[in-house]
């Protein structure tokens, strides 16, 4: 037997034998569900594996905020327009599609369909099945990545949907210490990020060096006139856009 096929088979059996977290959404007022409330979203993972049963109109929000649907965020719609379209969009200063709409019947009224989503380092992906990075539907690379803090699911157009989520069961393994390196590039299209520290350092290179040592630092601003170095996380502040940073290249 082909080794790769054997590995995929073992992974699929492991996922299917796990007990999923089941959530039902109904198209009624205030029935939107946040996955962190159900233990279906791990703070250490950057992907989501799930099954979905329903006739149409599944909506998923990859949110930069905790339990708030405020820009910036990503919107994934599966089985829209009577189960004929699937889309990936980004909400920032404006709402815009970031890839061509996929035409096809992705959902089924009577049986579960499997999907995965990943968002590592701003690389937004949607695919079929429960194996991440296999059978891709959509891809989008964010120019200025921001953290995904929560995920909201909902139904639309009168649909009732049943979702089965398979949270990761992986555990952290202690690794030997390695040298920390970060490469910075200037990006002018970022949301406003949360400030984590302000220091007087004198030079932009020293400011970058301070950011390298701070594990939570993902960007910095240096003022040549004052010598002030401000460090930022990758947590976006809602509804503030078009900021320029030296951002960690990913």
The pLDDT value recorded for residue 145 is 96
The pLDDT value recorded for residue 174 is 53
Contact 41, 150 (CB under 8 A): yes
The pLDDT value recorded for residue 36 is 94
Length of the chain (residues)? 250
Q: How far is CA 136 from CA 63, 130, 140, 185, 200, in A?
A: 21, 11, 11, 29, 46
How many C-beta atoms lie closer than 10 Å to residue 183's C-beta? 10
Residues 169 and 157: their CA atoms lie apart, in Å, by 34
The pLDDT value recorded for residue 14 is 42
pTM: 0.88
Query: H helices within the chain, ranges in order?
Result: 3-17, 80-83, 204-213
Domains, the chain, ordered by start: 20-165 (2.60.120.200), 184-248 (3.50.4.10)
Q: How far is CA 169 from CA 19, 49, 207, in A?
A: 11, 12, 38
In order along its 250 residues, the chain shows pLDDT tens digits of 443 333 333 334 344 446 899 999 999 777 899 999 999 998 888 999 999 999 999 999 999 999 999 999 999 999 999 999 999 999 999 999 998 899 999 999 999 999 999 999 999 999 999 999 999 999 999 999 999 999 999 999 999 999 999 987 655 455 554 456 789 999 999 999 999 999 999 899 999 999 999 999 999 999 999 999 999 999 999 999 999 999 998 7
The pLDDT value recorded for residue 15 is 45
């Amino acid at each position: 037997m082909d080794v790769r096929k054997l590995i995929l088979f073992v992974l699929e059996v492991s996922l299917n034998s796990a007990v999923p977290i089941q959530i039902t959404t109904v198209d009624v007022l205030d029935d939107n569900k946040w996955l962190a409330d159900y233990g279906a979203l791990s703070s250490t993972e950057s992907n989501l594996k799930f099954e979905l049963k329903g006739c149409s109109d599944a909506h998923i929000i990859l949110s930069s905020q905790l339990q708030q649907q405020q820009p910036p965020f990503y919107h994934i719609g599966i089985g829209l327009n009577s189960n004929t379209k699937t889309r990936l969009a980004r909400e920032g200063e404006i709402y815009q599609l970031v890839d061509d709409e996929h035409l096809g019947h992705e959902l089924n009224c009577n049986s579960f369909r499997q999907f995965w989503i990943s968002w590592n380092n701003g690389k937004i992906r949607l695919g079929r099945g429960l194996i991440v990075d296999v059978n891709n539907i959509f891809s989008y690379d964010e120019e200025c990545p921001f953290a995904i803090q929560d995920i909201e699911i909902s139904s639309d157009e009168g649909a009732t949907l049943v979702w089965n989520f398979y949270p990761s069961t992986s555990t952290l393994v202690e690794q030997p210490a390695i040298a920390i390196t970060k490469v910075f590039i200037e990006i002018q299209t970022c949301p406003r990020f949360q400030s984590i520290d302000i220091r007087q350092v004198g030079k932009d290179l020293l400011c970058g060096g301070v950011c390298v040592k701070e594990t939570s630092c993902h960007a910095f601003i240096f003022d040549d006139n004052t010598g002030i170095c401000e460090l930022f996380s990758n947590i976006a502040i809602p509804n503030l856009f078009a900021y320029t940073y030296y951002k960690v290249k990913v």
